[in-house]
Amino acid sequence: MGSAAVQTERDGDPPFTEKFFSQVVDHFNFNSLGNATFNQRYLITDRFWKKSFGPIFFYTGNEGDIWEFALNSGFILELAAQQEALVIFAEHRYYGRSLPFGNQSFSIPEVGLLTVEQALADYALMITELKLQLAAAQSPVIVFGGSYGGMLSVYMRLKYPNIVAGALAASAPILSTAGFGDPRQFFRDVTAVSLGEQIRLKRPVACDTMLGGSDLLTNLRDTAGTEPALGLWKHFKNCEGLADSLQRCFVPAGMVYNSSGLLPCFDLYRLYVECADPTGCGLGFNSLAWDYQACTEIEMCYESNNVTDMFPPMTFTQEARQLYCSKRWGVQPRPGWLRIQFWGDDLSTASNIIFSNGDLDPWANGGVRNSLSPSLIAINISDGAHHLDLRGSNAADPESVVKARKMEAELIAAWVKMERVRFRQSH
């Protein structure tokens, strides 16, 4: 296995060079495909690297084109500049341009090699081979990921601790996607965050014309469960003088929202693209890949009810999942498999993992919110959105995000130092 010649370096983008790694198609079956390989894309920059000494920061690509993640994870480059690291962003098999069977990758049975385990083995082999090629045997490896990529970074540390010294898992819903928790949590939290944001931005509310003041406060508190009720009263000052403005809004709003009740309702369900992820799979090949993963290992049995959330009622039970996946892909999901394969919620014997979550992220409560040990650290970011801490620094960043990045940088530096000590003791 090895790397193909340099393909491109994009003008105006972060200093990455795009390359391809000759990757094994099937890591776990020596007969079906032998040593057949495919071209797996990765992005690399050694701009900040202290060769053969500095650490390697490796992003475990998730469900999309790897450039999307590289261009939205500026914190990793900032950290690389501080710690003299080599940076690699690896594309997940079956996404972007890393298609093991080209345009036939989503045919049956070819799609069957799209699994979490195969993806992790891809990353483990790529890290090992690139360390040899780059004379980086003594360079500690820290893995990074956001959302599903954050799940993969956790799994890499669990499954390959001999290769990976630590993991930063940003906004990783490793519990909810393994079948833990309330299936209504995601859509309820989306609603709570949306309502909380409207309050924060002081958008007009109909005040006494909608509900009594105390009733409205109670309603807001119950709906926006993660938003503290204390201090909400000051926002009702916004209602002063709004009567005329609200009256002017009623006529056009009534036209849009059918206040007369005489028009037929707009059928939202007709726009819904059926897939095994109720939050949406997207379009194109990437959507096919994610749909298949949600049909096999990753559990996305979330539901909305229009009572605890603002969405039209939609249930997606394990039974509904089985029916859809059998019809679409000819597979039967295996509920609970991620719990068996990747430790479920019993992670206390692991080490060197950061679980960062933002309170404004509806995925947050599907992840680890409390530290499990001195080296399994939960960082809760009060003003953080979905893996905002992985983005590059910005003058508008909330203080909580700045503090989270500082803590993450300190922990990662400590892990790198510990790994160097381990190298010296073992050689």
Residues forming a β-bridge with 378 = 355
At position 424, the amino acid (one-letter code) is R
CA dist 23 and 6 (Å) reads 16
Is 386 labeled as catalytic in the residue annotation? yes
Alpha carbon separation from 20 to 8, 112, 136, 203 (Å, rounded): 11, 22, 19, 49
CB atoms near residue 222 (< 10 Å): 11
Q: 3-state class of 314 per DSSP?
A: strand
Task: Determine which one of 309, 361, 389, 397 is catalytic.
Answer: 361
Q: Is residue 361 annotated as part of the catalytic site, yes or no?
A: yes
For CA atoms 302, 305, 310, 311, the dihedral sign is positive
How many CB atoms sit inside 10 A of residue 390's CB?
25
**What token pair was written down for 191?**
């609603």
User: Are residues 42 and 70 in contact, defined by beta-carbon separation less than 8 angstroms?
Assistant: no
Q: Could you give the 3-state DSSP secondary structure of residue 422?
A: helix
User: How is residue 39 written in tokens?
Assistant: 């071209």
- Known catalytic residue at 32: no
Cβ–Cβ contacts within 10 Å for residue 335, how many?
A: 15
Distances from the Cα of 249 to the Cα of 81, 109, 227, 235, 414, angstroms:
52, 56, 28, 20, 57
Residues in the chain: 427
Which two structure tokens, joined as six digits, stand for 322?
A: 């089985």
- Among residues 147, 153, 287, 400, the one annotated as catalytic is 147
- Which of the residues 26, 46, 371, 386 is marked catalytic? 386
Query: Residue 86: beta bridge partners?
Result: 56
Return the active site residues. 147, 361, 386
